[in-house]
Structure 1
Amino acid sequence: MNDRRSFLKKSAGLAAVATGMATILPAHANTLSSTKWDEEVDLLIIGSGFTGQSVAVNANRAGIKVTVLEKMQVIGGNSAINGGWFAVPRNPIQLAQGITDDSPAELVKDQMIAARGMGNEAMLTRIAEKALPAYNMCIEAGVKFKKDFNIQVGGHNKARAIRLEAGTGGGITTKLYEAGVREGVDYRLQHKVEDFIMDGDEILGVVVRKGYRFPNEDTGHLVRIRARKGVVLASGGFARNMKLRFIVDPSLDPTLDCTNQLGATGEATLTAMNHGALPVHMNMIQTGHWGSPDEGGFGWSNALLSIGWHKGIAVNPTTGKRIMDERADRLTCSAAIMACRHKDGSPAYPLVFFNKNDHLGDDRVTRAVRDEMAWEMESLEQLADKFNVPLKQLRSTVEEWNQYVINQKDPDFNRKMDSAVKLEGPFVVSRVWPKVHYCMGGLKTDLDGRVINSSTLAPMKKLYAAGEVTGGVHGHARLSSCACLEGLAMGFIIPNTIKADA
């Protein structure tokens, strides 16, 4: 007997508010005994980002026949538009740079500091230990990383972040998709999961809206697909679901822009919850401190600020003073940035600037200036005039900073100074303001990726999840370059779990 009716009578009302729909349950809900399957497959993967692609490729190579369902009209989800950063301890570029004292344990140590007591050290360790296999999988698939590029990014104590040549995560998702197609993975676009079909706490299959055209809920038609070996949720977060965001974190500024693609609305997460999956840390929603108010969505600011945080400084335009350790983690930096306000409470967008002549021809600068989310300023006088910054204090701030560089010590914020340089015009200047970026909360899983049942606190049968759809991994703050790592690494773990369960 399908067990969803009794549970959903209690929870459908709340879920309806959270999703902005009349109800989370489609009108086609029926008993298990009357279910007529339109199709049967081995393994269903919901979502085609880093996690979905990695699980698909590795499961297929393990002899599991894979079908990937993507609700949007293109492959890749948020992963395709992310900044293309990938944390890999002991990667070849890092070793060539002479950095030989890094390890997965060092990465986890940094992550646990950022997590502020709420991270899952065992899970982070399992993920970090798969970093090199994930990197090698990408190389074998033809993924291109920037030549000789490996840097230290916010919250990390070592330079271990490599970056895609393409500048976005699409450099990975397209190549893994091509590898999957070559090797027999069945990809299906415009397939939106409407409901699960359960037998107790075992998932048997899904109800799918085939031919769905986002965001029109009336498009396509319903089919029921049985998944003999299970269902993997790799459907991402819910940062674009404004009603759900407000329910779980009413303190989050609703005016903040979002870096996510429009389909990041979390229906699969809510559907799993309706069937008893345990959610954790749902109110932990991360903002990207590198966001620009001068461009929509993800944009180029992430790439430009990979220079600014290392080579420049961030100042409050109302005071002309520095506001933070520019190399701190996202939570620390976002809080410092959003504290910059005019007297009426409106944002006083902090200014980040660095030396133009040190980065001539750098495509990160060229694109940002071209798209008018950064400006070239010949002097501090021109900068102060354009952005209405107190010139006397701005000069004093730069003079103090240049002395900090000489002394290799920052008495204001205790910033690590190894990448800092003296500031001398002309400058590249951009404005920053955080954007909603990543949901640390989601479905709780065990270390092998099995979704946990909220009633029994034991794993549900044949239901797996990984990536941003899960919660309880990163705690209060996920470090930059670790979303790519997590998704790709879990793609090695979950296929082994499925084989063991089978």
Structure 2
Amino acid sequence: MSNSKKTLPPDSINNPTRRSFLTKGALLATGGVMSLAMAPAQATPVTINVPETVTGGRTRFHQIYDVIVVGSGFAGLAAALEAKSHGLSVLVIEKMAVFGGNSTINGGAFAVAGSPQQKEAGIQDSPELMYQDMLKAGRGLNHRDILHVLVNGTQEAYEFTLKHGVRYKPFVQHFGGHSVPRTLQTVESSGAGIIMPMRQSAQKLGIIFKSRCKFESFIQDNQQTVVGIEVKENYYFPDENSGLQKNYGARYGVIMCSGGFSNDLRFRMIQDPQLVSDLDTTNHQGATAEGILAMLKIGATPVQLDLIQLGPWSSPDEKGFGNVSQFNTIAGYPMGIMVDARTGKRFTNELADRKAREDAILAQRDEQGNPVYPICFTNKEGAKNAQSLPAALKYQVAWQFDTLKQLADHFSLPYDNLQKEVDEYNTAVANGGGDRLGKDVSRAISLAEGPYFAVRVWPKVHYTMGGVQINPNAQVLNSLSGNPIQGLYAAGEVTGGPHGASRLGSCAVADGLVLGRIAGAHVATQTANPLFSTSDSDNA
């Protein structure tokens, strides 16, 4: 990351001539937006020169757009599409060769409070109930203003995705920590099922995308307003010597959707020294901290950076997110049980929130402190919706057994203990409740009959709850004044606050889409920076 921050002096605003802009509506802090009038926008990138105080020379803006979005995941695409819908020219940059980041490789699970699928299934839900569930999982550390915005925006965000071609399975899933089933999942069982259609829609609308374009630093004027960014074009991760430096201008603002830092070993270990190098992560290689660090450098407020979540459904038998994660979330945990590999006994509620399960699993160690991988399993009926199971079986990270005895023998589990656990669990299922570990079994199935499918489990670094502070308009707040840093927005995992100590599963998609849309809509209510008047510009 560049160490020099560009500043623009007062006389850089040397021509009051500007395009006239239509008045735009205000953003609703509940997560919805009023209809904004279309603002005239110059979609063609332009190049201008502006004075620079540091050197006394002139800084060249190689290209200029109304809005620049850094990152191409859920939040980035939502922000870009929303800004474009208000008539602004939009550039989306992505440092990796492939667009989408972690959003593409996640499970495509989206928590929606009050979805049509819930209503069809007779499930009673509301934004307030989702709020209470997230507050409980977050141990009360959630920033409640942002949390209110998030939960109140899920239905509109869901409709927004349908508008852009996203397709979901016709049933609702019950993820851990949620008091009712409210999770929808793409038909692809992957975040790519959201990213690909949204990006295709964005391209049709004229949004410009640049891959291998690495964000380096912000460019600010003399009032500390963010007016652009420094990037490296033709950057090849992780070669920091690659790429050509360019400066991009942003008439209305920059929206940071650069994601979390789960794969940034140095930075994550600063926050939590226990997250050492031999602890795997579900994240892609480019999930690093430069976006957060750049915002902190210009005064953004850090929020809960040491709150880092491990995914409790991962497998030690495969790298990254893998196939077991999806099997466990859709089948193993809601429709099966997890047992201690030494005793054959259950040790935690399989539908508890992620932190509770993470802590319980990590406690499964031998006398020398080595991991003892728990076994999670269900039967054929419980696994019928697990699309990743065939791949998990193919790559031998999941196993199939005709009987419970075969399963016990394969993993050297005490069979008598295992059979007693299954019998006790089946009794609770038959009674519709009364599970000794508090699991909601009202929609569970009996495990009396095989065949059975089993996997080994161990958590992986998955999500960073901390980031920079934003207000309900997704504006990044200055740590000294508490006021917005003008021209700077952020959404998604790069921000902190809504999830508190532990994020509920399927709420990352909700967070990115809801706050991303808000950022894109609110930036359109701003006035274009007079620095970028048409008389100062010429076509690139």
Distance 1:498 1:357 in 2: 49
**Superposed displacement of residue 492, structure 1:** 2.4
Contact residue 321 and residue 394 of structure 1 kept, 8 A: yes
Distance 1:408 1:229 in 2: 55
Range moving further from structure 2, 441-450 or 355-364: 355-364
State the one-letter code of the partner of 1:184: G
Distance 1:411 1:133 in 2: 36
* Counterpart among 338, 348, 351 of residue 314 in structure 1: 338
**Superposed displacement of residue 452, structure 1:** 0.9
Contact residue 356 and residue 376 of structure 1 kept, 8 A: no
**Inter-CA distance 141–342: structure 2 relative to 1 (3 Å threshold):** same
**Inter-CA distance 119–357: structure 2 relative to 1 (3 Å threshold):** closer
Range moving further from structure 2, 249-258 or 259-268: 249-258
SS at match of 1:204: strand
Contact residue 326 and residue 386 of structure 2 kept, 8 A: no
* Counterpart among 466, 490, 513 of residue 488 in structure 1: 513
Query: What is the root-mean-square deviation in Å for CA atoms of aligned residues?
Result: 1.9
**Inter-CA distance 337–253: structure 2 relative to 1 (3 Å threshold):** farther
Query: Residues 446-465 of structure 1 correspond to what in structure 2 (within 5 A)?
Result: 446-465=471-490
Partner of 2:208 in structure 1? 186
Query: Residues 64-79 of structure 1 correspond to what in structure 2 (within 5 A)?
Result: 64-79=88-103
Distance 2:493 2:420 in 1: 43
**Superposed displacement of residue 400, structure 1:** 2.1
**Inter-CA distance 160–423: structure 2 relative to 1 (3 Å threshold):** same
Query: Residues 416-435 of structure 1 correspond to what in structure 2 (within 5 A)?
Result: 416-424=440-448, 425-435=450-460
**Inter-CA distance 358–325: structure 2 relative to 1 (3 Å threshold):** closer
TM norm structure 2: 0.85
**Superposed displacement of residue 29, structure 1:** 9.8
Contact residue 318 and residue 342 of structure 1 kept, 8 A: no
Higher helix share: 1
* Counterpart among 164, 168, 187 of residue 190 in structure 2: 168
* Counterpart among 439, 444, 458 of residue 415 in structure 1: 439
**Inter-CA distance 125–78: structure 2 relative to 1 (3 Å threshold):** same
SS at match of 2:525: helix
- Alignment deviations for residues 206-239 of structure 1 (CA, whole Å, 9 cap, x no partner): 1110110111111120011111111000000001
Range moving further from structure 2, 389-398 or 103-112: 389-398
Distance 1:301 1:317 in 2: 17
Contact residue 8 and residue 220 of structure 2 kept, 8 A: no
**Superposed displacement of residue 443, structure 1:** 0.6
Contact residue 130 and residue 492 of structure 1 kept, 8 A: no
Query: Residues 298-313 of structure 1 correspond to what in structure 2 (within 5 A)?
Result: 298-305=321-328, 306-313=330-337
Contact residue 72 and residue 190 of structure 1 kept, 8 A: yes
Range moving further from structure 2, 427-436 or 247-256: 247-256
Query: Residues 28-427 of structure 1 correspond to what in structure 2 (within 5 A)?
Result: 34-99=58-123, 101-146=124-169, 148-199=170-221, 200-305=223-328, 306-359=330-383, 363-424=387-448, 425-427=450-452
Contact residue 24 and residue 271 of structure 1 kept, 8 A: no
**Inter-CA distance 168–380: structure 2 relative to 1 (3 Å threshold):** same
Structure 2, gaps ≥5 residues long: 10-55, 528-540
**Superposed displacement of residue 253, structure 1:** 4.8
Distance 2:396 2:427 in 1: 31
Give the greater-gyration-radius structure (CA): 2
**Inter-CA distance 339–253: structure 2 relative to 1 (3 Å threshold):** farther
Range moving further from structure 2, 415-424 or 331-340: 415-424
Distance 1:501 1:392 in 2: 68
**Inter-CA distance 430–479: structure 2 relative to 1 (3 Å threshold):** same
SS at match of 2:88: coil
**Superposed displacement of residue 438, structure 1:** 0.5
State the one-letter code of the partner of 2:139: R
**Superposed displacement of residue 122, structure 1:** 2.1
SS at match of 1:344: coil
Range moving further from structure 2, 169-178 or 388-397: 388-397
Distance 1:185 1:471 in 2: 27
**Superposed displacement of residue 358, structure 1:** 4.9
**Inter-CA distance 362–283: structure 2 relative to 1 (3 Å threshold):** closer
Contact residue 429 and residue 441 of structure 2 kept, 8 A: yes
Range moving further from structure 2, 359-368 or 155-164: 359-368
**Superposed displacement of residue 26, structure 1:** 6.4
- Alignment deviations for residues 4-30 of structure 1 (CA, whole Å, 9 cap, x no partner): xxxxxxxxxxxxxxxxxxx76269999
Distance 1:201 1:152 in 2: 46
**Superposed displacement of residue 360, structure 1:** 5.4
SS at match of 1:500: coil
Distance 1:254 1:143 in 2: 36
Q: Give the aligned length.
A: 478
Distance 1:134 1:27 in 2: 36
**Inter-CA distance 265–358: structure 2 relative to 1 (3 Å threshold):** closer
**Inter-CA distance 195–358: structure 2 relative to 1 (3 Å threshold):** closer
Distance 2:224 2:98 in 1: 32
State the one-letter code of the partner of 1:290: W
Contact residue 68 and residue 255 of structure 2 kept, 8 A: yes
Contact residue 332 and residue 382 of structure 2 kept, 8 A: no
TM norm structure 1: 0.91
Contact residue 300 and residue 367 of structure 1 kept, 8 A: yes
State the one-letter code of the partner of 1:45: V
**Inter-CA distance 358–270: structure 2 relative to 1 (3 Å threshold):** closer
Distance 1:221 1:358 in 2: 53
Structure 1, gaps ≥5 residues long: 1-22
- Alignment deviations for residues 49-104 of structure 1 (CA, whole Å, 9 cap, x no partner): 000001111110111111111111111111011100011112111111122x3111
Contact residue 236 and residue 467 of structure 1 kept, 8 A: yes
- Alignment deviations for residues 378-400 of structure 1 (CA, whole Å, 9 cap, x no partner): 22222222112122222222222
State the one-letter code of the partner of 1:400: E
Overall identity of the aligned pairs, in %: 38
- Alignment deviations for residues 241-286 of structure 1 (CA, whole Å, 9 cap, x no partner): 0010110111335422101110001211111111111111000000
